Structure 1
Amino acid sequence: MSRRTLLAAGVGAAAGLAFAGAGVAGVGATRASAASPWWAKLSTRQQVGQRVIFSYPGATPPQALFDAIAAGIVGGVIFFGENITSLTQIAGVVADLRAAQADSPVREPLIFTTDQEGGYIRRLKGQEPVLSEKKIGLAADPDAAATAAGAGAAAALRDVGMNLNLAPVLDVFRTPGNFDDQWERSYSSDPRLAGRLGADFVRAQQGAGVAATSKHFPGLGAATAAQNTDLDTVTLTQSLDELRSVDESAFVPGIAAGVQLVMTSWAVYPAIDPVYPAGISPTIVQGELRERLGFTGVTITDALEAGALAPFGDTGTRALLSAQAGMDLLLCSARDLSQGFDALDAVTAAVDDKSLNPGHFKQSLARVQSLRASLF
């Protein structure tokens, strides 16, 4: 499906409407609407770049990534197992990437992130958190275990120079054998316990200076073993009442605890939006997350290369649809620099031709820059 077809279907108009109402401006918007912030002097392409998270293949970042950082068109980098051969090696890589920003016009720290969830899902192998979320939920003192996990994740990431963790997972477990169950990524089938332990993790990690990300809003816990948004379209058919009272409710304690980011899922939830996956649905991003739950921090997409987005065009189209829906950070995690540049090109063109409202774009950029100003 082409970008023109998608926009004609009403995504652009819906995104514009979605920015009305309470909570939309979020963190940093007051600054953006008063005196011009320093980043207003950046080119449009540089401003867009602050919202794009890049990835690369192998253990050595390509020169093109260093050049892009120096040019001020990179918001951050996500690291995967293939990028990490040892703690010393990845700490050196992060230091080198930081140094590339020395001559950049961008002042705020780059985002350096990974998935250090715990248990099986740890890009920094052998480092905390050792316990999976499932084991934390089953611990004799789960709150203490969740707090220790958050503090441990922060220490592991800080030691190698990373400043943002894509954790905790707040999917409320339902189906034996599903993806979260297989990899022990859910605290509990009880949304109250899952939410409380997620908030414990958030407070401990952010208290140690590493930003946390609650994911995957509004929740993937009802998926079956055969449903994986990384591979294909996933439709979850809970009622609106169940989505709100079970899945979304697990995110509430983390939001109250001040979690700095929320990652959306790529599943479709017909009870809320029968057409668009959560991360490109203004109804979910703005209506449910911001207006209903009052989240004012930074939103981040899941992987833009996910199979669930196959019906929605190429990387550029997916990035634009996400931005129009209200997503702040665009996660280009295919380990291919061209993916990040495709997103950069598409969103820049949309700001220039006003198909992405410039005012809304700058509100989003203000949230991102406020987050980054808080990082080391």
Structure 2
Amino acid sequence: MKNYGKCMVLAFVMIFTLAGCSKVDTMQETRQQTFDEQVDAVVESMTLPEKVGQLVMIGIHGTELNDDSRYMLNQYHIGGVLLFDRNLQSAEQTTRLTAELQGEAQKVPLLIGLDEEGGTVVRGKSFITPPPSAQSLGTAGDNTQAEAWARRTGEQLAKLGFNVNFAPVADVGDSSRDFSRDPQVVKKFVAAAAQGYESAHMIYTLKHFPGIGKGQVDSHIDRSNIIATKQQLAEEDLLPFKEIISQHDTEDFMVLMSHLIYPEIDASNPASLSPEIQTKLLRQEMGFNGVIITDDLEMGAVSKYGDFRQLGVQAVLAGADIVLVCHEYPHETDVYLGLLEAAEKGTISQERLNESVKRIVRMKLLRGNSPR
């Protein structure tokens, strides 16, 4: 995995040369740079609007690159795209679309993702073999099947041009999306799935931190509280996340933040907007130094309680690296413009902005070029 990524880094940095340098000079300089220096050089070559664009992942409309989606990607320097069934018709069309999207990438690859969990949450069923639900895999008790399905799914998605899957679900609960109500079982199956995605060179996404298995309200509709003590969360809900964070390279996966409120940690803010949960718990206490991404900001749990120009800023100030806005172009535009204004005014400092951009660029250069 590491060797594959480093080879792709060299190839990609050679393609996207820095302004003012000849190709020969840049290639010679790249060979002498450490990987961290390569990341720094890419980030330093970005304008402020380009940096802000890396913090936003959007949904688009249509089954091909059109004027609207091209405008969003180029005007706002968007760093990632999440596709849905509305974008997918066939393997050939999807492969063409992801290639067209990637052709609009500026300096680093786009993150192009899909929600292919299995069970009820699958996309492109006519040409992507749908995995079994997490619950059915967990009930069967054979975690090697979780690994095998993750590898198979990752390989299918990579051939179609995706480099991110928004799976596996690491929640401890009894829905069809959860492996089990037993945290030890969930830990084992999530670790197996992680191994499968890594074998397929597919960035995966642990969700929904710090766990929504105890939730009673669908966060697509509204926000609610998770009633659990810090000890309960630590011994149950956080266990699968801890396992992957401690045992796997952080460039291999993202952690997606839930929109629920955990009163024992932060009684005022949902996890996606909480410094206590993102920066203090996940970053400082659990030691995660990879990419944090929010759940979709258009979900009722947050969109009912804030303005899109402010929600993205709140999320980044809380610790998020990427904000996800999946459906409406005006909302996506507002999130980007809100972040840009905050960066220009210093509400989001240059240091804070660069921290996120470096994490994102590092992941993209190491893992963003999935083989087809």
**Fold similarity call, TM over 0.5:** yes
Q: Is the 8 A contact 1:312 1:318 kept in 2?
A: no
Q: Is the 8 A contact 1:173 1:222 kept in 2?
A: yes
| Aligned length in residues | 330
1:196 to 2:182 alignment: no
Q: Is the 8 A contact 2:133 2:177 kept in 1?
A: yes
Identify the residue that residue 343 of structure 1 maps to in structure 2.
335
Q: Is the 8 A contact 1:45 1:344 kept in 2?
A: no
More off after superposition, 311-320 vs 361-370: 311-320
Q: Is the 8 A contact 1:129 1:150 kept in 2?
A: no
Deviation, 1:151, is 0.2
Distance across 1 between alignment mates of 2:269 and 2:160: 37
Deviation, 1:129, is 4.7
Distance across 2 between alignment mates of 1:76 and 1:292: 28
Q: Deviations over 1:155-194 (max 9, x none)?
A: 12112100001100011015xxxxxx1xx10001111110
Aligned counterparts, 1:1-376, within 5 A: 31=36, 36-70=40-74, 73-101=77-105, 106-126=106-126, 127-141=128-142, 143-174=143-174, 181=175, 184-224=176-216, 227-255=217-245, 256-258=247-249, 259-310=252-303, 312-334=305-327, 336-374=328-366, 375-376=368-369
Letter in 1 for 2:312: A
Q: Deviations over 1:193-240 (max 9, x none)?
A: 10121111111112211101000000000012xx01111111111111
Distance across 2 between alignment mates of 1:134 and 1:231: 23
More off after superposition, 341-350 vs 124-133: 124-133
Q: Is the 8 A contact 2:150 2:196 kept in 1?
A: yes
Letter in 2 for 1:137: G
Letter in 2 for 1:164: V
Deviation, 1:361, is 1.3
Identify the residue that residue 24 of structure 1 maps to in structure 2.
none
Distance across 2 between alignment mates of 1:221 and 1:275: 20
Deviation, 1:84, is 1.0
Distance across 2 between alignment mates of 1:133 and 1:35: 36
Q: Deviations over 1:17-50 (max 9, x none)?
A: xxxxxxxxxxxxx948x99522323221111001
Q: Is the 8 A contact 2:43 2:358 kept in 1?
A: no
5+ long unaligned stretches in structure 1: 1-29, 175-180
Higher helix share: 2
Deviation, 1:150, is 1.1
Identify the residue that residue 6 of structure 1 maps to in structure 2.
none
> Matched residue of 1:322: which SS?
helix
Deviation, 1:71, is 5.2
> Matched residue of 2:287: which SS?
coil
Alignment CA distance shift 1:213-1:53 (3 Å)? same
Distance across 2 between alignment mates of 1:115 and 1:132: 13
Bigger RCO of structures 1 and 2 (CA < 8 A, at least 6 apart): 1
Q: Deviations over 1:268-307 (max 9, x none)?
A: 0000000000011000001111111111110000001110
Distance across 1 between alignment mates of 2:139 and 2:343: 48
> Matched residue of 1:121: which SS?
coil
Letter in 2 for 1:158: A
Q: Is the 8 A contact 1:112 1:164 kept in 2?
A: yes
Letter in 2 for 1:149: W
Distance across 1 between alignment mates of 2:76 and 2:364: 14
Distance across 2 between alignment mates of 1:307 and 1:125: 27
Q: Is the 8 A contact 1:137 1:187 kept in 2?
A: yes
Letter in 1 for 2:209: F
Distance across 2 between alignment mates of 1:46 and 1:113: 20
> Matched residue of 2:267: which SS?
coil
Alignment CA distance shift 1:74-1:134 (3 Å)? same
5+ long unaligned stretches in structure 2: 1-34
> Matched residue of 2:313: which SS?
helix
Q: Deviations over 1:115-144 (max 9, x none)?
A: 011122111315345211001101242x11
Q: Deviations over 1:90-135 (max 9, x none)?
A: 111111112233xxxx321111001011122111315345211001
Q: Percent identity, please.
A: 27
Alignment CA distance shift 1:147-1:129 (3 Å)? farther
Alignment CA distance shift 1:129-1:203 (3 Å)? farther
